[in-house]
Amino acid sequence: MEQKFEGINKSKIIDLDKEKTKKVVKNILYIIAGIILFLILFNSFTFTVDEREQVIVTQFDRIVRAVVDDKSDPSYDILKQDERFKNIRLEERKGLCFKLPIIQKTISYTNKLLTYDTDPEEVFTLDKKTIVLDNFAEWQIVNPILFMQNLGSISLAHQRIDEFIYSRLREEIGRIDASKLVTDKDYVSEMLIRVRDFVNEQLEAQGIRIVDVKIKRTEYPEATYQNIFEQMRSERQAVATEYRSEGLKEAQRIRSEAEKEATIIEAQAYEQAQKIRGEGDAEALKIYAEAYNRDPEFYQFWKTLQTYEEVIDEDTMIIISPDSEFAKYIYGKD
């Protein structure tokens, strides 16, 4: 009997443990279900706005609210002029926000700087040259309301950006020569600023803004390389020929001036020499005259000796009469 009683007590204890375990598991499941339900309800009532994004809140597919970066941006003035957007509430608050569950939905747009890299395109310059132009643009969404209404996607925004930038660049480049496009960096920078401002005017109602437009590279098409090289060679040869011609002309001018200067110097030297020679001859005649006046006989003797020296040398044979005045000093006659 005792053994039978002990067996009954043990079975009751096991049943009690099972019931307790079931209750604990059930309570845990209730708690988990409650947490999940709370999270679902919490998420349906709230949404989070990151610092790198802007959020549109819609109700039955109509925009009722927008969390933006800067509601004082000039692009929001357009909303005030449109009846569709007058009742939209603008907020600058980031972080945790509240909304009505089920009927209100959120759409997020990035506020980061985006890059649109265009495909290389051929453009024509003022001097009829074909240039392959490769450019890119940096832009951002400044008004998510207008962006959602008019564009809705980044791919469509890129399409619009490409249309306006390419058409404006083609127009600007068509006003200048290819050499200016390639070499004049200051002009190109000013041109790109004009392109950016023009595109921003066209895209203002789209809710986007171009921050910068840049040209990555400009080059000639490969098919025209040989013709371009030949043209460059011809231009260089023409320049070299012109420089050579100018050099020869300058050399001839310098040579002519040098010859003229030399002629003038020679003439002046000859004139000076003649003047000095004339002065010397006059001085010599004066000395001769003074010598003759002092001693005519000695002067005649000295002059005759000078004549002998000029006329007679070792190979000279003179046939002269002894009575000649010229020979009297040779023969010792008085």
The H or E element that residue 50 is part of is none
Q: What is the pLDDT of residue 2?
A: 46
Amino acid type, 96? L
Can you give the pLDDT at residue 13?
61
Asked if 50 contacts 94 with a C-beta cutoff of 8 angstroms, the reply is yes
Q: For 52-98, how does the pLDDT look when each residue is reduced to its tens digit (9 = 90+)?
A: 888 888 888 888 888 888 888 888 888 877 777 878 888 888 888 77
The CB density around residue 260, as the number of other CB atoms within 10 Å, is 10
pLDDT at 156: 92
Q: What percent of the chain has pLDDT over 70?
A: 77
pLDDT at 319 over 80: no
- pLDDT value, residue 298: 67
Look at residue 18 and tell me whether its pLDDT is greater than 90: no
pLDDT of residue 270: 85
Token reading at 323: 């009575």
DSSP 269-307: HHHHHHHHHHHHHHHHHHHHHHHHHH-HHHHHHHHHHHH
At 9, is the pLDDT very low, low, confident or very high (cuts 50, 70, 90)? Answer: low
- pLDDT average, residue stretch 209-214: 92
Which pLDDT band holds residue 42 (cuts at 50, 70, 90)? low
Task: Give the percent of the chain with pLDDT over 90.
Answer: 10
Question: What pLDDT, on the 0 to 100 scale, is given for residue 292?
Answer: 64
Instruction: State how far the Cα of 188 lies from the Cα of 182, in Å rounded to an integer.
Output: 9
The per-residue pLDDT for 212 is 92
The confidence score (pLDDT) of residue 4 equals 46
Q: Rounded CA gap, 285 and 158, in Å?
A: 110
Q: 259-310, pLDDT tens digit by residue?
A: 888 888 888 888 888 888 888 877 877 777 776 676 676 666 667 767 766 6
pLDDT surpasses 60 at 33: yes
